[in-house]
A = this chain, B = another copy of it.
């Protein structure tokens, strides 16, 4: 380490970065965190790594964010902000649109599912609140009481979260492995075949899924469940 030089009395040599923009903003940090999570997965988000991506030290982030957990809550709410607030005529179509959008967001950001599982939905992010209010409105206008609309929203959200979580876990696993989904299936196949051999129904299912396109079968399972749910809700209306 060289001895610290005497300061050079020149305007040009002076550091002079005069905080044109504060260089580190909560917003900036959160959007970069989302990027890092998307690109490298939840395991690879550390304050040090995030800091260095922003050209800053790890502990500098703590000026803008209380803890890593808080940062993750912010990231979650950020993604919720991507969701639309559609308001078409027919309630089923509207709910369908929101449900599809939520699932799409989770599949775009697979780390979301696990984090939602830890944080729950009670954490009061403004975008989450806005989305909830909006969905309550949709069901109320469809003819549900506020009480029942609340339960309906919980039900639909739970279904979307639950089914997308499984898909997201699968996506994360494949992404971590660095292989393609097809390769991963091939590799898993022998173990899976052995595991299900005592279960005739599972065996038939696995065999069928081997030849299917994985993402297509996810789509159809999602749509099937969503329609059943909407059917069940619709039956409550006069």
The segment out of A3-11, A20-28, A222-230 that lies at the interface is A222-230
B202 and A155 within 8 A (CB): no
The segment out of A29-37, A50-58, A81-89, A123-131 that lies at the interface is A123-131
Query: Smallest CB-CB separation from A124: which chain B residue?
Result: B195
Q: What's the least CB distance linking A137 to chain B, in Å?
A: 6
Size of the A side of the interface (Cβ < 8 Å), in residues, is 65
Inter-chain CA distance A220–B232, complex, in Å, is 16
Q: Could you tell me which A residues sit within 8 Å of B by CB distance?
A: 113-114, 116-122, 124, 126, 129-130, 132-133, 136-137, 140, 146-152, 154-155, 157-163, 165-166, 168-170, 172-173, 191-192, 195-196, 199-202, 204-205, 208, 220-221, 224-225, 227-233, 235-236
30 sample A-B contacts, Cβ–Cβ < 8 Å, listed by A number: A116-B117, A117-B117, A117-B165, A117-B169, A120-B173, A124-B192, A130-B199, A133-B199, A136-B201, A136-B205, A147-B208, A151-B221, A154-B163, A154-B221, A155-B159, A155-B224, A158-B161, A158-B162, A158-B165, A158-B166, A159-B162, A159-B225, A161-B162, A162-B162, A165-B165, A228-B235, A228-B236, A231-B231, A231-B232, A235-B235
